[in-house]
Structure 1
Amino acid sequence: MNIRPAIQVERMKEEHKVAVSELLLQGFCSKLQLGTGLNNAQLQWMLERFLVLDEQRGEGQRMVAVQEGSVIGSLSLQFQSRSGEPRRSTTVMDLLSMWKGIREVGWRKALGFAVRLACLSHRPGCGELYIADVSVHEKFRGAGVGKTMLEWVLREAASRPGIRYASLHVSGSNVGAKRLYDRMGFRTLKAQRSTIMKWLFGEQEWNYMIQER
């Protein structure tokens, strides 16, 4: 009988950032390249820099799933800051800290990327632990990596004082992911259809799902 090596879920470290940006590129390139003109190398560079910005804000945590020393999955958790102020959305001003690289990518492409991140962002409410994204390496999809990470999130939500529910958004076309979330106890609180989101990402329907403690 084959025994799969254990999957560990841990906080992202500096040495994980390149691998995580590659995962995000695999999972979201079709959505983030649409209308921006970014090639794969440019998009990965932008994603890697925004990983740094998210860590600096201190209002979220980037977690990774590691198996035998390799990063095979990642997710981002967001929550209200300790001051109680909602998490700040990604803005064009964030691009100023990356001025040199942005000049090489091009401001039009960078601006298109920032606008799309802003539209995908969510401001967690009181008692909400928001899963901003989930990515699994293409070679490990269907092997239980996503389920392992979600189980970790739900345990984390249960252990945090003040957290009443976990939440996430999933596009209507992502049937496999929604099926997993259903099995994990999430329910659709709101289904939204947006012409703007269709234009930006090629996805018109988005489901906001929650799992209450």
Structure 2
Amino acid sequence: MITHPVIHMERMKEEHRASVSQLLLQGFCNKIQFGTGLNNAQLQLLLERLLVLDEQRGEGQRIVAMQEESVIGSLSLQFRAHSGIPRPSTTVMDLLPLWKGIQGVGWGKTLGFAVRLACLSHRPARGEMYIADVSVHERFRGSGVGKTMLEWVLREAVTRPGIRYASLYVSGSNVGAKRLYERMGFRTLEVQRSTFMGWLFGEQEWNYMIHEG
């Protein structure tokens, strides 16, 4: 019988970084590693550096789902800049601190990682709460954690002044995740097909989905 763990959501703290980088590795290694030659240890190192970089740049909010003292899920929320000026999409130069001087990974591999992150970035529009990623610990998949996290996001969107809709991207091959999003009330606004994205990630089709109200 599948049990539904009691979880609570909170802002990521410094002591959560290692656990969150492991979650991101579990959830996205197939896509991010594709064509880079990075092994799991190298990719986790870069992901942990990325979490630090995002905090330094003020890139939205990283939220964790906690069961007791364990991180069992994580998601990243991004918004339009408070100044009213749209935040530009991430560029390779923005990600320079990730790979400059990193030893044991190699500049070529880390640059490949940075390029993939830049291509996956999204510039939120006015009134948009963008869910940049959602990951659940492999032991808790199918137990309702992802649904609980999305329910929290949708409640959070209602409480934030000026937010009109939540959004996310999901690859065409991730049928299970897309079905979950549809059950949660998301609808596909646009289907994007790109040979270049297929070359980078092994995924040519990406669905841009939104949840209004």
Same fold by TM-score, threshold 0.5 exceeded? yes
RMSD (CA atoms): 1.6
Task: Give the partner amino acid of 1:210.
Answer: I
Paired position in structure 1 for 2:31:
31
Aligned length in residues: 212
Larger helix share, 1 or 2: 1
SS in 2 for 1:100: coil
Matches within 5 A, 1:1-213: 4-98=4-98, 99-101=100-102, 103-213=103-213
| CA deviations over 1:37-78 (Å, ceiling 9, x no partner) | 111011000000111111122230000000021000000000
Range 55-64 or range 202-211, more displaced: 55-64
Range 26-35 or range 84-93, more displaced: 84-93
CA contact (8 A) 2:80 2:86 kept: yes
Task: Give the partner amino acid of 1:49.
Answer: R
Q: Which runs of 4+ in 1 moved over 2 A?
A: 1-5, 85-100
Task: Give the partner amino acid of 1:136.
Answer: V
SS in 1 for 2:48: helix
Range 2-11 or range 145-154, more displaced: 2-11
| CA deviations over 1:85-116 (Å, ceiling 9, x no partner) | 22233333244434332x43111101100000
Partner Cα separation in structure 2 for residue 15 and residue 111 of structure 1: 27
CA contact (8 A) 2:5 2:145 kept: no
- Uncovered stretches (5+) of structure 2, i.e. residues with no partner: none
Partner Cα separation in structure 2 for residue 2 and residue 154 of structure 1: 24
Partner Cα separation in structure 1 for residue 164 and residue 120 of structure 2: 23
SS in 2 for 1:6: coil
Normalising by the residue count of structure 1, what TM-score does the alignment of the two structures yield? 0.95
CA contact (8 A) 1:90 1:114 kept: no
Task: Give the partner amino acid of 1:150.
Answer: L
- Uncovered stretches (5+) of structure 1, i.e. residues with no partner: none
Normalising by the residue count of structure 2, what TM-score does the alignment of the two structures yield? 0.95
How high is the sequence identity, in percent, across the aligned residues?
Answer: 77
